[in-house]
Structure 1
Amino acid sequence: MSVILSVDTSTPACSVALNIDGVVLEDFRMAPRMHNDLILPMVDQILSQAELTLSQVDAIAFGRGPGSFTGLRIAAGVVQGLAYGADLPVIPVSTLEAMALDAYRKYKTALWLPALDARMGEIYVAGYRVFEEEGMTSIEALLPESVVKPDALDDLNDAFNGVGSGWCYKEVLLTKIPTTPNTIDIDIAPRAACIAELAGKLFAKNRMVPVYEAMPSYLRDEISWEKQPLKVGKR
């Protein structure tokens, strides 16, 4: 049996989840600017709910980005601290891939263009095909993660559906895809349950990283504020 703890604070949503051999428990809250106060108590609460301790967890996953600069740092810092203290491997998971999985679970549609509002007139975006194969849900990346102004996105050949806050630029994004989507859901945000599910597949393939490699993926090359090193400490 594998037990994977996951956290996500990449957007105004704050969530934690446990993947216990394929059965997922989750605490998901919309909590803008409250991540620092909530995330560790939420971890403690979900472990208590499952009657587990951190020492019984096999790996810790987190939404590594893209997303809010501050939110990604919170998640990475918390995960580094927990993983370092318990000597656990870490599984970074794409927030955009997690959104595509969530949208597939909700709408049973294969092609998704997850996009998050990156501010400054830009979006974080990627493209995925989600499908069932031999009784398992698989995800194929069709468009790599990037940060781009919506009108600068290349025209796409696939009939993507839309998910995520970046679809606030719907009028522009609709000009980039060949047909009008059946579904656009602007309210879906990355959530720890989907991150935990994706992490379970990576864990089975032994695709973990040591704690010092558990870093956020900002996508932007130039950050207008100074990057400070993440601090790792025992909890």
Structure 2
Amino acid sequence: MTAVLLAIDTATEQCSVALRYQDQVFQRAAITPREHSQRVLGFVEEVLAEAGIGLATVDGIVCGYGPGSFTGVRIGVAISQGLAFSHNLPVYPVSTLAALAQQAIRCHAANTIVSAIDARMQEVYVASYQNQNGVAQAMMDAKMAGLSPLTEQPWWPATGQAIVGAGTGWQAYGEQLDPQQQVNILADVTLPLAADMLTLAAQVKPVAAEKLEPLYVRNEVTWKKLPGR
């Protein structure tokens, strides 16, 4: 029997919840950057009600644990921990960048994807993925990158296939990140969705609620302490 999983993501401007029950996916999503804490539990109640089940039927929580807005990531992690604690459920931490790549695969059958989320401060969170049997597989760990051509970075995917760009980082800084326009930037894949995190959960090792930690990707130069601090 397929596990009943509840996915939650508040790491970006979009608040997203999805429930997989009996091979169906029930989902809610809204761009509410300052209302995640007010909206997310309502979305949870709505998808459970639509499926006709209670939280006691859920087998695990899938959490979008970053990278993204520090506040948004913390909200998602805290809500996921609270729900998991209440019913002694395992938590499956899924990257928001991986969820973007999975969305690109689902919507466009993309093969090589570079996900980029706007990190503000003239930087982006970025990672690359490969489509392996319909599932996004990471080719590198998430990084913080400045607004310079990503295609010139040593980690850039070496492939003969077309590379697509997914996420708000490409939407905001496409010209700086890809001045030679080598990347097919997807206009309709900008923010991660919890529904795609359900697909990725099968590849993630679950953790106990108290072991769940946010994924903060920091630029080590930016965050280095100044002398005397």
- Pick from 159, 163, 188: which aligns with 1:160? 163
- Pick from 178, 203, 206: which aligns with 1:174? 178
User: Which 4+ runs in 1 deviate beyond 6 A?
Assistant: 221-224
- Number of residue pairs matched? 214
AA paired with 2:212? A
Aligned to 1:91: 92
State whether structure 2 residue 70 is matched by structure 1 residue 64.
no
After superposition, residues 209-224 of structure 1 pair within 5 angstroms as 209-220=207-218
TM norm structure 2: 0.86
Where in structure 2 are there 5+ consecutive unaligned residues?
Answer: 224-229
Deviation at 1:221, TM superposition (A): 6.4
Deviation at 1:186, TM superposition (A): 6.6
- Structure 2 contact 16–29 (Cα < 8 Å) conserved: yes
- Structure 2 contact 149–178 (Cα < 8 Å) conserved: no
Of all paired residues, the percent bearing the same amino acid is 37
After superposition, residues 189-228 of structure 1 pair within 5 angstroms as 189-199=191-201, 201-202=202-203, 207-220=205-218
Task: Kindly provide the CA deviation profile for residues 78-132 of structure 1, in whole angstroms up to 9, marking residues without a partner as x.
Answer: 0111111111110000110010010111111211111000011110000011132
More strand by share: 1
Q: Determine the C-alpha separation between the residues in 2 that align with 1:84 and 1:10.
A: 20
TM norm structure 1: 0.84
Query: Which SS does the other structure have where 1:7 is aligned?
Result: strand
Task: Kindly provide the CA deviation profile for residues 158-186 of structure 1, in whole angstroms up to 9, marking residues without a partner as x.
Answer: 442111110121112214x8x72334337
Where in structure 1 are there 5+ consecutive unaligned residues?
Answer: 225-235
AA paired with 1:185? A
- Structure 2 contact 67–216 (Cα < 8 Å) conserved: yes
Task: Kindly provide the CA deviation profile for residues 124-163 of structure 1, in whole angstroms up to 9, marking residues without a partner as x.
Answer: 000011132xxxx232222321012131741523442111
CA-based RMSD of the aligned residues comes to 2.1
Aligned to 1:47: 48
Q: Determine the C-alpha separation between the residues in 2 that align with 1:217 and 1:96.
A: 11
- Structure 1 range deviating more: 21-30 or 37-46: 21-30
